[in-house]
Amino acid sequence: MTHADPASVRPRRFAPQGPLKGRIRVPGDKSISHRSIMLGALAVGETRVTGLLEGEDVLATAAAMRAMGATVERTGEGAWTIHGVGVGALLQPKGPLDMGNSGTSTRLLMGLVASHPINVSFTGDDSLSKRPMNRVITPLSQMGASFDASEGGRLPLIVRGASPAVPITYTLPVASAQVKSAILLAGLNTPGKTTVIEPVPTRDHSERMLQGFGAELTVETREDGARVITVTGEAELKPQVIDVPGDPSSAAFFLVAALVTPGSDVMIENVGLNPTRAGLVEVLCQMGADITKCDERVVGGEPVADLHVRHSPLKGIVVDPAIAPSMIDEFPALFVAAALAEGTTTTSGLDELRVKESDRLSAMATALVAAGADVEERADGLVIKGTGGVPLAGTRPGFEVTTHLDHRIAMAMAIAGLASGDGVMIDDTRPIATSFPVFEAMLDGLVA
């Protein structure tokens, strides 16, 4: 992974360069890209994928599935074929699986391995090795898998799969699509019915894609709003043809960039607008954003549209914490929008942001304050008093934003730099490659 060598650090200053104009197409959705490779590797036959995100995180998933017996090949830009081994037929890898910076790869693959008769060692970079895995270890242990983890349930760790695994009914203690998905993936090779109850709905790409691949999966919504998802093992998955829509988490940075940069007019094509992922667009529109959905359509079971966004004066709001799961990765971008809005924006219910690639609440508060924003950090959110559209006052002399190897901190503060007085210096842009390798080139193209 590119982060390993400190000698290759790539700092960059992002400064105002005028309005953003043009049409762009952001890379494929990261969540769907991960799952298309994993499920393709468990189907018997050839799965073809176009629009795959070719960032480091997804490439880590591809390498892991190769190591466990699947044939995963790139046939063109964003075009891949996967020849799967079948559910229950994953092979013992010859060495540790290096997950780089990818928490999604790690947690979902822990689920896959948990119900196969193999032992797998997972490693990762410094950032990933600080992230807790106990939330996945707990339910998978109930299914019969065993774990040798580092202190605090962290990487490096070893998963010893159970054969046969035991079906469980598990209520998620915290909203997490990754934990839900890990349990459902383990359930694919578990005799009987494995059920996950999520009190707060989270992104549902796993459910949609499992059904698309032919798994017997049901979703029911209770009167209290909780979702009950049940998968029946031992599943036989059928290969699919998948066109991955654009990643709304990647589109988020360009939405905000255009909104806060005067004179901007940008069309972002082919953005996935799954209801469990579209919270940011809703919140920005509540703040007064000029965003138009064009050519709304459904591709591969996922709602998609082109988003036309123009510079807009934004107003601060109180963000409903109930919407947080549908935009959890987009809050760094929203914090930048709030810093340029008129009035105060208050966010809460964001405890999950403290255990992402970095503590995103603390990292964004520190970075925005240094850039000239008025930010109060609370236990579960930020309170941001916006400038009313006035450029951020500028960083302290010699200050660099510390990204903590977090791609979203780097991209969010790059956007803040466009709406600042003197620009924002990012300590290292390399982490951006984990999810959005062409981010800088695309941003520079819109400015040009």
Mean pLDDT, residues 110-114 taken together: 98
**pLDDT score recorded for residue 397:** 65
Question: Was 35 annotated as part of a binding site?
Answer: yes
Residue 5 pLDDT grade (very low, low, confident, very high; cuts 50, 70, 90): low
Average confidence score pLDDT of the chain: 94
Q: In angstroms, rounded to a whole number, what is the distance separating the alpha carbons of residues 317 and 299?
A: 33
- Res 6 pLDDT > 70: no
Q: In angstroms, rounded to a whole number, what is the distance separating the alpha carbons of residues 210 and 29?
A: 16
Strands 344-346 and 381-385: antiparallel
Mean pLDDT, residues 168-195 taken together: 97
Question: Was 178 annotated as part of a binding site?
Answer: yes
- By C-alpha distance, which of 245, 391, 251 is closest to 308? 251
**pLDDT score recorded for residue 399:** 79
Domains 11-28+245-447 and 30-243 share a fold: yes
- Res 180 pLDDT > 50: yes
Q: What CATH number matches the domain at 30-243, 3.65.10.10, 2.30.30.280, 2.30.40.10, 3.30.70.20?
A: 3.65.10.10
Q: In angstroms, rounded to a whole number, what is the distance separating the alpha carbons of residues 278 and 294?
A: 15
Residue 3 pLDDT grade (very low, low, confident, very high; cuts 50, 70, 90): very low
Residue 448 pLDDT grade (very low, low, confident, very high; cuts 50, 70, 90): low
* Least trusted range by pLDDT, from 177-191, 228-242, 396-410: 396-410
Question: Was 286 annotated as part of a binding site?
Answer: no
Question: Was 329 annotated as part of a binding site?
Answer: yes
Under 8 Å between Cβ of 22 and 445: yes
- The residue type of 17 is Q
Residue 192 pLDDT grade (very low, low, confident, very high; cuts 50, 70, 90): very high
Q: Dihedrals φ, ψ of 248, to 5°?
A: -65, -25
Q: Percentage of the chain surpassing pLDDT 90?
A: 90
Residue 396 pLDDT grade (very low, low, confident, very high; cuts 50, 70, 90): low
**pLDDT score recorded for residue 188:** 98
| pLDDT tens per residue, range 405-414 | 899 999 999 9
| pLDDT tens per residue, range 34-66 | 999 999 999 999 999 999 999 999 999 999 999
The ranges assigned to domains in the chain are: 11-28+245-447, 30-243
- Res 2 pLDDT > 50: no
**pLDDT score recorded for residue 298:** 87
Tell me the CATH class for 11-28+245-447: alpha beta
Is 444 designated active site? Answer: no
Which one is catalytic: 57, 306, 329, 406?
329
Question: Was 227 annotated as part of a binding site?
Answer: no
Residue 396's contacts (CB-CB under 8 Å, 6 or more residues apart) are 370
Question: Was 31 annotated as part of a binding site?
Answer: yes
Question: Was 176 annotated as part of a binding site?
Answer: yes
| pLDDT tens per residue, range 219-274 | 999 999 999 999 999 999 999 999 999 999 999 999 999 999 999 999 999 999 99
**pLDDT score recorded for residue 249:** 94
Residue 4 pLDDT grade (very low, low, confident, very high; cuts 50, 70, 90): very low
**pLDDT score recorded for residue 250:** 95
| pLDDT tens per residue, range 303-320 | 999 999 999 999 999 999
